[in-house]
Amino acid sequence: MSSETNFPYDFIGKVLFTPEEIEKRVTFIGNQIHNEYRDSEKLLLLGLLRGSVVFMTDLMRKVQMPLTMDFMSVSSYSGSESSGFVRIDSDHKTNISGWDVILIDDIVDTGFTINTVRKLLLDRNPRSLKICALLDKVERHRIDVPIDYLGFAIPDVFVVGYGLDIDEKGRNLPYIASVDAKKYEKSKHK
Ligand code: IMP
Ligand code: MG
């Protein structure tokens, strides 16, 4: 991929998934969801802000049936390393009782975020609840998370693009790439 698509970001390492590869996989998941939920009258895609936005808005257009979208915003209590304590910053608006909910996140790392939100949602009596993640860092799991729909499994590298960020940068890249830690450190001091 040419360096022009790095925009002004100068910390991009290796491109893991191109826009074409992502599109193909998102289309596949969209079809899967459509096939499994075609009889549902109350399908809700519930995205976790902000990382899931790009994935979710592409995915919803591949699910060719009536559906509703909603969002929640959650954060880990401290630092970049997940602490296991997840705070709800803003809650969804829909009363999910009786809805078929698909919880969508950008990436599963330790699994604490998805697991905490999943438990909270189950207490709110959805008709069904499934989990959809664009990426999964399998080696990093510290808790079992049932991922029903997955984009790609990746190794333990920090990635940006297609909604994912490093300190809020990189979300608008059209591909998913690793961050070059050395270049990133240098770019912070510019
Ligand atoms: P978990 O609770 O450890 O599973 O953390 C998941 C959250 O950490 C994701 O929703 C992301 O916001 C963030 N995260 C984990 N790994 C990465 C990465 O490689 N790039 C960007 N964000 C990440
Ligand atoms: Mg996130």
Domain that holds residue 49: 18-156
Q: What is the 3-state secondary structure (H, E, C) of the chain?
A: CCHHHHCCCCCEEEEEECHHHHHHHHHHHHHHHHHHHCCCCCEEEEEEECCCHHHHHHHHCCCCCCCEEEEEEEEECCCCCCCCCEEEEECCCCCCCCCEEEEEEEEECCCHHHHHHHHHHHCCCCCEEEEEEEEECHHHCCCCCCCCEEEEECCCCCEEECCECECCECCCCCCEEEECHHHHHHHHCC
Instruction: Please give the positions annotated as active site.
Output: 109
Å from CA of 99 to ligand 1 middle: 27
In a domain, 22, yes or no: yes
pLDDT (0 to 100) of residue 1: 55
Q: Which atom of ligand 1 is nearest to the CA of 51?
A: 12
Per-residue pLDDT band at 76 (split at 50, 70, 90): confident
Total number of domains in the chain? 1
Read off the pLDDT of residues 135-173 as tens digits, 9 standing for 90 and up. Answer: 999 999 999 999 999 999 999 999 999 999 999 999 999
In a domain, 4, yes or no: no
CATH code of the domain covering residue 62: 3.40.50.2020
Residue nearest to atom 15 of ligand 1 (CA): 109
Instruction: Say which ligand is closest to the CA of 112.
Output: 1
In a domain, 186, yes or no: no
Residue nearest to atom 12 of ligand 1 (CA): 51
In a domain, 116, yes or no: yes
The structure's pTM equals: 0.94
Pocket of ligand 1 (CB under 6 A): 51, 82, 105-113, 158-159, 164-165
In a domain, 162, yes or no: no
Q: Which of 107, 169, 184 to mutate to test the pocket of ligand 1 (most atoms within 8 A of CB)?
A: 107
Read off the pLDDT of residues 1-42 as tens digits, 9 standing for 90 and up. Answer: 555 678 889 999 999 999 999 999 999 999 999 999 999 999
Nearest to 131 by CA among 37, 21, 47: 47
In a domain, 111, yes or no: yes
In a domain, 46, yes or no: yes
In a domain, 25, yes or no: yes
